[in-house]
Chain A
């Protein structure tokens, strides 16, 4: 299953994660810490080792973006960070958005599958007290179910927002370096190899991760019966502004279209048009 997540952290992974600690001590090294952590998280996410990626992320103090800006200002007197530092910050924020989205999705799954109250069995006997007890249990169940459903809707909204945050990531998109017109004097001549390799990894990560996230999003929208919004996913993916369709392989597009078809059939079953519109 391509969506399955590897939650193991090997001894070697642990050593790599802990190495970040050494870079975090000195605030003037924070930009380097950010880059190393990014590189490590890239690999972990590609291997679907999300717990390991999260462990790396947690090694960086939450004020790191601020610290990078401040220490650069102190050292150079300039506010214009070099391009590679800007890219590292962008990548770090992309990673944060992704980890948040996956966290949120796990909460949703947890809530959906494990939090759902069980309907009580009707009594087999049929004595008066059995029936009274059953009716009482049924009433409690209905209240619990209602509470569960309301919470599910809330969790759905949060998860949905977090996934959209990744799919519609600003400044060039998720894991795509923002274009910088004014910063050209800061291109890294000596690091071009690193740069090309990094760009390839980012692109790879986009096509590895984004289609899967769209399927998760469809899953939660479809499960919470928001069928029209399911079909509107097509707008987001086909749009030339977001360029998301480019990260889908042919089979993935076919799978997506089959899922959208399922949502459309649900709309038809509910007496609506196939895209959820009434006749005017």
Chain B
């Protein structure tokens, strides 16, 4: 561990020296590595990556490798922005200090955006949770994307569970139009995604853990059936 830390320290001093020697390409690479490995402070990771990008641009000769690096830095910064925009209320509830917070994984961010602590969560938070799925490492075998997807939608239903299980007459779509689940689908459509790709299958949604206590509720099954049918009709029509 000690030798690793020393190497880390050296990296820190190396980019300063590289800038002094006008070796911006080398500074760019060192800073990129430091940024990717920084887990303790989100803000520090952000600045290391920003500096790395500026060094790449200062280098002038931008080859394909550097271009790829810059694109990856921009993606990383987008993820950092998602964490920066976490609602203050959630951070407070979780006892996280915004200025000192460590780097959270995409899965952790998804959970924070839609957890009960975010009591004022809207369709925008749920949409953000869905958007964050693209940042999850596909290679990571400990994460199951399908489970995460059904759990996001299941949690959305839980938010208005009394509406979904309340027996009424009239047009089923009209009855659930104001739920977060329905508004999240609308939001996905208006931002250009195909809801059939964003939604899990009706069966896996009903068998998801977050809906276990109510999955056999006939009214819920009826409403969801109506929503899925509407989505299919609208999108294929």
Contacts and interface: CB of A to CB of B under 8 A. Distances in A.
Contacts of A258: 19-20
A234 B74 contact: no
Interface in B50-103: 50-51, 53-55, 57-58, 60, 73-74, 77-78, 102
Contacts of B49: 238
A82 interface: no
Interface string A236-248: 0111100001001
Contacts of A232: 43, 47
Contact of B44 (A245, A264, A275): A275
Interface residues of B, number: 29
B24 interface: yes
B interface: dominant SS? helix
Contact of A277 (B41, B50, B54, B74): B41
Given A239-B77, A261-B19, A231 B58 contact: no
A280 interface: yes
A86 interface: no
Contact of A253 (B43, B44, B57): B57
Interface string B8-35: 0000110010011010100100000000
Contacts of B54: 234, 237-238, 245, 253, 256-257
B51 A234 contact: yes
A178 interface: no
B46 interface: yes
B77 A231 contact: no
A178 B44 CA distance: 32
B152 interface: no
B47 A280 contact: no
A235 B54 CA distance: 9
Contacts of A115: none
Nearest to A261: B19
Nearest to A246: B57
B157 interface: no
B194 interface: no
Interface string A198-211: 00000000000000
Interface in A99-114: none
A158 B234 CA distance: 55
B50 A235 contact: yes
A265 interface: yes
B51 A260 contact: yes
A265 B24 CA distance: 17
A117 interface: no
A254 B50 contact: no
Contact of A235 (B40, B47, B55, B102): B47
B165 to A, nearest CB: 41
Nearest to A250: B60
Contacts of A237: 50, 54
Given A239-B77, A245-B57, A261-B19, A273 B12 contact: yes
Contacts of B46: 235
B156 interface: no
Contacts of A254: 22, 24, 58
A274 B48 CA distance: 10
A238 to B, nearest CB: 4
Interface-centre pick from B47, B48, B77 (highest chain A CB count, 10 A):
B47
**Which are the 6 A-B pairs with shortest beta-carbon distances?**
A238-B50, A253-B58, A234-B50, A238-B53, A280-B40, A235-B50
30 contacts: A231-B47, A232-B47, A234-B47, A234-B54, A235-B46, A235-B47, A237-B50, A238-B50, A238-B51, A238-B54, A240-B78, A245-B53, A248-B57, A253-B54, A253-B58, A254-B22, A254-B24, A256-B54, A257-B55, A258-B19, A260-B51, A261-B19, A265-B16, A273-B12, A274-B13, A275-B47, A275-B48, A277-B40, A277-B41, A280-B41
Interface of A: 231-232, 234-235, 237-240, 245, 248, 250, 253-254, 256-258, 260-261, 264-265, 273-275, 277, 279-280
Given A238-B49, A238-B50, A275-B47, 9 more contacts: A234-B51, A235-B50, A238-B73, A254-B22, A257-B19, A257-B27, A257-B55, A258-B19, A275-B44
